[in-house]
Structure 1
Amino acid sequence: MNAGAILLAGGRATRMGGIDKPRVEVRGRALLQWAVDAVSGCEPIVIAGPESSVSGAAPVWVREDPPFAGPAAAIVAALDLMDAEWTYVLACDLPFAGDAVAVLAASIDLFPADTDGVCLADASGRPQWLTGLYRTAALRGAASLLPDRGRDASVRALLDDLAIAVVAAPAAARDIDTWEDVRQIEEDE
């Protein structure tokens, strides 16, 4: 599959005291590194967030304008650099990013050819739009309809008119929102 990746690493992490959440270590590795490793075969890998070091891949760094304008704006900024047929969109708070990418890649062929993408659902069944694999052309078309390059728009607004399949994969879609989440995942290991 011809796929690139957009990794979202520029949030405020307010529920964690405003720390740099992608740099939080879970199971011995930074959350950002889990995401980079999960998409290591993708080209390009675009990280939307403040630049820092990661091992392995040589990502391209972008930032939404202005910073903290939200994940939809970050996706729009990163799409300017995307030329692959498919685009993984992953928040950098997924300790099981490798599992998420594997489920997404295996799922895409299960749906009709006119499906614009697939995302995972969490344990409650709620779609996790920031754990998805989308047709780049469909994302770009949707992004072009957002005012102000997606500034302060929801990701749901970005994806609203796309045909997206949702796959239940609560373990792979598990994310880190609080310090308690970190503790639980470390204990589950």
Structure 2
Amino acid sequence: MRYAGIVVAGGAASRLSGVDKPALSVGGKPLLARAIHALDGAERVVAVGPRRPGFDVVWTREPVPGTGPVAALAAGLVFVPDDVELVAVLAADLPGVRRSTVDKLVAAVGDADGAVLVDADGARQWLLGAWRVAAVKSALPERVENASLRRVLGGLRITEVAAERGESDDIDTPEDLERHR
């Protein structure tokens, strides 16, 4: 199945003293590179956040930078080709994301509106999913700034996909980073 990819690469990283999380290196590779490489099968990859050199992606920003993942998702959707039915959406702080993660999410959408990775505690990882573009566009609120991604996507028909160990981990704190170095 053909799909595009959106990497949410903005964020304030407030719990990491405002460092550029996507540029942090885990296992010798920047987190942003890990997310982009996980989307190797995508027709187009759109990164939403400050432009960073060295990546062959379409760059864009939210109209008001820093207004959250729904605003970032809406900004990225503008660049998804019209003939592509699915979009994989990833955060840029996922040390365990792989192409196989994206492949299984895309395959799991089936007749649903989307598929989302679920961690070991049963929590849906909203920035680790694959979605029908039309369903996401119709679910977006009129005002996307500071909207809750869980509320926007949570009303859609969702297939849950169990995460493998470490696959849904993200880097939010210095302790998270140390654990994955």
Structures share fold, TM-score greater than 0.5: yes
Q: Percent identity?
A: 39
Matched residues in 2 for 1:31 and 1:37: separation? 10
In the alignment, structure 1 residue 157 sits paired with structure 2 residue 151: yes
Q: Which residue of 2 aligns with 1:121?
A: 118
Encode CA deviations 1:120-153: one digit per residue, 9 max, x unaligned. Answer: 112321000100011111111112xx022x1110
Counting matched residue pairs gives 178
Aligned residues: CA RMSD:
1.5
Letter in 1 for 2:76: A
In the alignment, structure 1 residue 139 sits paired with structure 2 residue 133: no
Q: 1:108 Cα deviation (Å)?
A: 4.7
Q: Which residue of 1 aligns with 2:174?
A: 179
Matched residues in 2 for 1:22 and 1:107: separation? 22
Q: 1:13 to 1:40 in 2, by over 3 A?
A: same
Give secondary structure in 2 for the equivalent of 1:5. Answer: strand
Structure 1 residue runs without a partner (length 5+): none
- Whose helix fraction is larger, Structure 1's or Structure 2's? 1
**Under a length normalisation based on structure 1, what TM-score does the superposition of the two structures give?**
0.88
Matched residues in 2 for 1:43 and 1:108: separation? 13
Match for residue 167 of structure 1 among 153, 161, 168:
161
Q: 1:131 to 1:110 in 2, by over 3 A?
A: closer
Q: 1:167 Cα deviation (Å)?
A: 1.6
Give secondary structure in 2 for the equivalent of 1:175. Answer: coil
Q: 1:122 to 1:63 in 2, by over 3 A?
A: same
